[in-house]
């Protein structure tokens, strides 16, 4: 194992890869994923776990709830955090490449759904690069959002992975810059994702659920029990990557249907 304290760029990229895909409560030295990746980057599990909590100290979603992580984030940690914020899509691709270089195969985390390999080989030249970037970005966004919410719907708390969606607050087609930004995402069940995307539910500025009058007009027991009952209830907040108030305001103003 390395004795020096400085982390290389590739090592930091791997650490950020794990931070974005791992629930906060799993960031400890006993986690099998941390043990495995620590060996791959020539660090101890304790050092890698400490690095993840240092990264966590830079996340307002962590610090705003009193969970400070370790306050030893380096200048390199801060620079990479800023780099990630500036261009989520390229950063997702770079972290993916760093991990694939050390693993040499399909990436799989015990606590995250397996990475789905790109079918970019069906494309050529520039099309292949674009397809790969899109696939990696989609995988990054889903993993980052679902892990942030502990793999539970933030409205119903449903925890069946096959029924969970990393839902965009500002739609994919509207804002290319924030397509991969996990702060533009909510972990929702398939049903609540469809209702949110259709503007039949929204999120208030104080992070409570609001149901559209249009949906309330339905005299339907199923809709009442699965959606309307959550009207006015607080959202299950994420452990990291707190949803942007700017993005939620856009959804309320542009997508939410506030009339019957």
Return the higher-pLDDT residue of 2 and 42: 42
Q: Nearest CA to 251 among 198, 188, 190? A: 198
Mean pLDDT of 216-222: 93
Q: Is residue 70 part of a domain?
A: yes
Predicted pLDDT of residue 102 = 85
pLDDT at 201 over 90: yes
Name the band, by pLDDT with cuts 50, 70 and 90, for residue 136.
confident
Is 235 within the bounds of a domain? yes
pLDDT of residue 64: 74
Strands (E) in 102-205, as ranges, are 164-168, 185-189, 201-203
Angle of helix 88-103 versus helix 9-21 axis, rounded to 10: 110
pLDDT value of position 197: 97
Residue 15 lies in a domain: yes
- 122 within some domain: no
Work out whether the CA dihedral 129, 133, 136, 139 comes out positive or negative: negative
Q: Tell me the average pLDDT across 119-125.
A: 41
141-190: pLDDT as tens digits: 999 999 999 999 999 999 999 999 999 999 999 998 999 999 999 999 99
Render 48-109 in DSSP notation, one character per residue. HHHHHHHHHTT-HHHHTTT----S---HHHHHHHHHHHH-HHHHHHHHHHHHHHHH-S----
34, part of any domain: yes
Q: DSSP letter at 168?
A: E
Q: Which residue has the higher pLDDT, 52 or 132?
A: 52
Residues 97 and 179 in one domain: no
Domain extent, residue 211, equals: 161-255
Across the chain, mean pLDDT equals 87
Q: What percent of the chain has pLDDT over 70?
A: 83
Residue 93, pLDDT > 60, answer: yes
What is the pLDDT at residue 115? 32
Total structural domains within the chain: 2
CB atoms inside a 10 Å sphere around CB 163 = 15
């Amino acid at each position: 194992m390395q004795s020096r304290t400085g982390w290389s760029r590739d090592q930091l990229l791997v650490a950020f890869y794990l931070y974005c895909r791992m629930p906060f409560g799993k960031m400890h030295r006993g986690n099998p994923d941390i043990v495995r990746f620590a060996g791959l980057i020539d660090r101890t599990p304790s050092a890698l776990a400490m690095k993840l909590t240092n990264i966590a100290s830079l996340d307002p979603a962590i610090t705003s709830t009193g969970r400070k992580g370790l306050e030893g984030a380096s200048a390199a940690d801060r620079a990479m955090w800023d780099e990630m914020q500036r261009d989520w899509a390229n950063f997702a691709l770079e972290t993916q490449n760093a991990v694939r270089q050390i693993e040499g195969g399909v990436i799989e985390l015990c606590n995250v759904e397996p990475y789905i390999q790109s079918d970019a080989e069906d494309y050529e030249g520039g099309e292949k690069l674009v397809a790969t970037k899109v696939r990696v970005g989609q995988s990054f966004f889903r993993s980052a959002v679902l892990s942030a919410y502990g793999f539970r719907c933030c409205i119903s708390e449903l925890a069946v992975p096959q029924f969970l969606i990393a839902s965009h607050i500002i739609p994919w087609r509207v804002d290319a810059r924030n397509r991969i930004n996990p702060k533009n995402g909510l972990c929702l069940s398939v049903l609540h994702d469809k209702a949110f995307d259709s503007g039949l539910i929204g999120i208030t500025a104080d992070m409570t659920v609001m149901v559209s009058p249009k949906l309330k007009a339905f005299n339907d027991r199923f809709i009442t029990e699965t959606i309307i009952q959550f009207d006015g209830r607080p959202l299950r907040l994420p452990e990291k990557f707190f949803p942007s108030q700017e993005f939620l305001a856009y959804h309320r103003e542009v997508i939410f249907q506030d009339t019957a």
